[in-house]
Structure 1
Amino acid sequence: MGYRTTAEKRAIFRELHQSGCFVLPNPWDAGSASALAGLGFKALATTSSGYAWSCARADGQLSLAETLAHLRYMVEATELPVNADFESGFADTAQGVASSVRMAVETGVAGISIEDSTGDPQSPLRGVADAVERMRAARDAIDASGGDTLLIGRAENFIVGRPDLDDVIMRLQAYATAGADCLYAPGIKTREQIAVVVKAVAPKPVNVLIGWESDLTVPELADLGVRRVSVGGALARSAWGGFLRAARTIIEDGKFDGFAGASSGVELNTLFGKREQGPQR
C-alpha cells in the first residue's frame, strides 16, 4: 500500500461513515496500531486511558501537549485514518476548545471526539448550553481548518453515573445540531437503548462502545443501525491483564506458568516484519 496523504485518510474515514458498520479498535502505541492494521481493520482510534496507562498515569492526567504529541505519533505510525480521543477538549472555555481542536486537526487525525464530562464527581456533566457552545466551537475550528475532519459528539451520562437515556438523546440531538458529524453515548448496552439512540439522531451515524464481554455481535449491531463500534481501553486492559497475571504468578508463587497463551516471538516478528517502513533492528 502506498503512502496516503492526510486528505486521503480523512476522505476514507468519512466514506466509512456513509453506510454499513465498521469496528474502530483503539491502539495505544505504534506496535498495537500496526498489529491492528495488519489484521485488516479499516480505521483506528486513540484511547486516552490506554495511552495514559502506558505512561504510568491515570486516565485524564495527560496534558494537552502530551496528547497532541501522542496524536501526531499515532497518525505517523499507520496508513489508516485515526480518530482522536480528545477527552473534553482540554480547555475551560469554548474559545479554548476551539484553539485545542485546531491544534488537534494539525496532527493529521481524521476525526475528533469531544466529551461533555467535567471531571468533577459532584457535577460530572456540563450544562447542555455550555456543552453545545463547546461543540459549536469545535465545529467552527474544524471548518476553519478545511472542514474534512469528522467531529464526534459524546454524551457521557452512562459513563459518569447519570444513566438518563432521555437526557442522552436530548444532548446528542443538540450536538448534532451544533455540528457533530457522528454521535456517541458510551455506556449504553442493551439492544433497546442502542436502537432508540440510533433512531433519535438519524440520519447521523452512531458509535457504540463495547468495552466488556457482550453477547452483541458486529452483524447484530449493524442490524440495529450502528455505523461504528469502538472498544475504548478494553484492548489495553486486556494486554495489561495478561501482563499482570504473569508477573503476579512469578512474584507471588515463584512460578512461570502465567505465560500460557502468550504470542510467540516468531508470530510477533512475522507480524511486524511485514511493515514496509519504520526502524529495523
Structure 2
Amino acid sequence: MTIDNSSNSSNSRTRAQRFVELHREGCFLLPNAWDVGSARILESAGFPAVATTSAGVAFSLGRPDHDFFADEAAGRVDRETMLRRVREIADEITVPLSADLEEGYGEAPETVADTISMALAAGAAGGNIEDFTGDRTRPLYDPALAADRIRAARAAVDTGGDPFVLVGRTDVLLVGGSLDEAVRRANAYLAAGADCAFVPGAADATTIGTLVRELDGPLNVVMGLTGGTLSLDDLRALGVRRVTVGGSIVRAMYRHLLSAARELADRGTFSYADDQIPQADLNRLFQHRS
C-alpha cells in the first residue's frame, strides 16, 4: 500500500509560508507551548502561530533547562528528544510552529545546520539559534563563530527549500553585556542570514526602542521574565515585530502545581480544585480532529 503524503506536505508548506508572512509587517504575539495539550490550548485562543519553549519541554520531562552547569550535558534534554516533541506538537496543531532550538545542540556550524534540517523535517516553520554556550568561562560564542553558525543555519534552510523563519538570538543582555554589543551581534546575525533578531533581556521601552532603531531587521522580544509593565500595544507602538513569552506560562503552571502539592501535603485540604477547568470542557477542547 502506498501512502500519499503530498497533502500533509502541502499543508505544512502553507503553514510555514503563513508564518513567514507574519514577520513582514505589524506586530504579533507568539506564545510558547511545551507539549501537545498546551499547544492546542494556545491555538484554541486564536493565536496565529505557536512556539515551543525548551525550558517548558525540559521541565515537563523533569529535566533542567539549558543553563550554566559544571557538566554541561548533565540532565540536559538531547536534540533527538527535543525534536521529537517538536514533531509531536507540529503534527497536532493547524497553525505554524516555531521551534526553540537553543544553541543548535553543538558548537560547530555543521552541527547547527544538521539541527535546522532536523527541525524542518519535524514540521517546524521556524526556529531560533542562540549564542549562549552554557560555559561560565565564555558565556557567548565568539562573534565570528556565532555568525558562521547562523550562516550555516541559513544554508540548511535554503537547501531544504521550504519556507522557514530563522531567528538569530543573542543573550548578551542576559549575561551582563552591553546594549551596543547586543546591537552588533544581532546585526551580524541578520547579515549572516537570520530573518529576525531576538534579544532577550530587553524589557523596558528605552532599550527596546533603541534596538528597533539600530537593528537592520525585525525584532523579537520576550515578555514574562518578570511581570513587566509594557503591553502588546506598547510594544507594537515601539516597532517590535514579534513578542514571545518564553517559559513564563509553564513556570506559572508549575507554580499552581507546587501550591496544590503543598496544600495537600501540609494541610490535607482541597481548595486548589475550586478553580479547575471542568473535565467536559477539556474533553471538548481536545477532541480528535480528522
TM-score (norm: length of structure 1): 0.93
Q: Look up the SS of the partner of 1:138 in the other structure.
A: helix
AA paired with 2:163? D
Instruction: Name the amino acid aligned to 1:115.
Output: E
Within-5 A mapping of 1:39-50: 39-50=45-56
The one-letter code of the counterpart of 2:252 is S
Amino acid at match of 1:15: E
2:33 equivalent to 1:27: yes
DSSP 3-state at the match of 1:7: helix
Query: What is the SS of the residue equivalent to 2:55?
Result: helix
Q: Distance in 1 between matches of 2:95 and 2:83?
A: 18
The residue aligned with 1:172 is 186
1:53 has 2:59 as partner: yes
C-alpha distance after superposition, 1:84-128 (max 9, x if no partner): 100001122112211221111111111010000101123211110
Q: 1:182 aligns with which of 196, 200, 203?
A: 196
Correspondence list, 1:1-281, <5 A: 5-60=11-66, 61-146=76-161, 148-159=163-174, 161-202=175-216, 204-211=217-224, 212-273=226-287, 275-277=288-290
Q: What is the rounded CA distance, in whole Å, between the counterparts of 2:279 and 2:194 in structure 1?
A: 43
Quote the offset at 1:264 in angstroms.
Answer: 2.4
- CA drift at 1:77: 1.5
Instruction: Encode CA deviations 1:217-273: one digit per residue, 9 max, x unaligned.
Output: 111110000111100111111111111101111101222122343222233233224
Q: Distance in 1 between matches of 2:274 and 2:244?
A: 28
CA displacement, residues 142-188 of structure 1 (integer Å, 9 cap, x when unaligned): 111115211100011122x2241110000001001000000000111
* Partner secondary structure for residue 286 of structure 2: helix
Distance across 1 between alignment mates of 2:289 and 2:159: 34
The answer (yes or no) to whether the contact 2:199–2:221 under 8 Å persists in 1 is yes
Look up the equivalent residue of 1:109 and give its one-letter code. A
Write the deviation string for residues 1-51 of structure 1: whole angstroms up to 9, x where unpaired: x97611101110011111111110011111111111111010000110001
Ranges in structure 2 where 5+ consecutive residues have no aligned partner:
1-6, 67-75
Instruction: Report if aligned partners of 2:13, 2:162 keep a CA contact under 8 Å in 1.
Output: no
Contact 1:247 1:258 in 2 (8 A): no
Q: What is the SS of the residue equivalent to 2:85?
A: helix
* TM-score normalized by the length of structure 2: 0.90
SS of equivalent residue, structure 1 residue 59:
coil
Bigger mean CA offset, 96-105 vs 48-57: 96-105
3-state SS of paired residue (2:33): coil
Q: How many residues align?
A: 273
Q: How large is the RMSD of aligned CA atoms in angstroms? A: 1.5
- In the alignment, the residues of structure 2 paired with residue 240 and residue 260 of structure 1 have an alpha-carbon distance, to the nearest angstrom, of 17
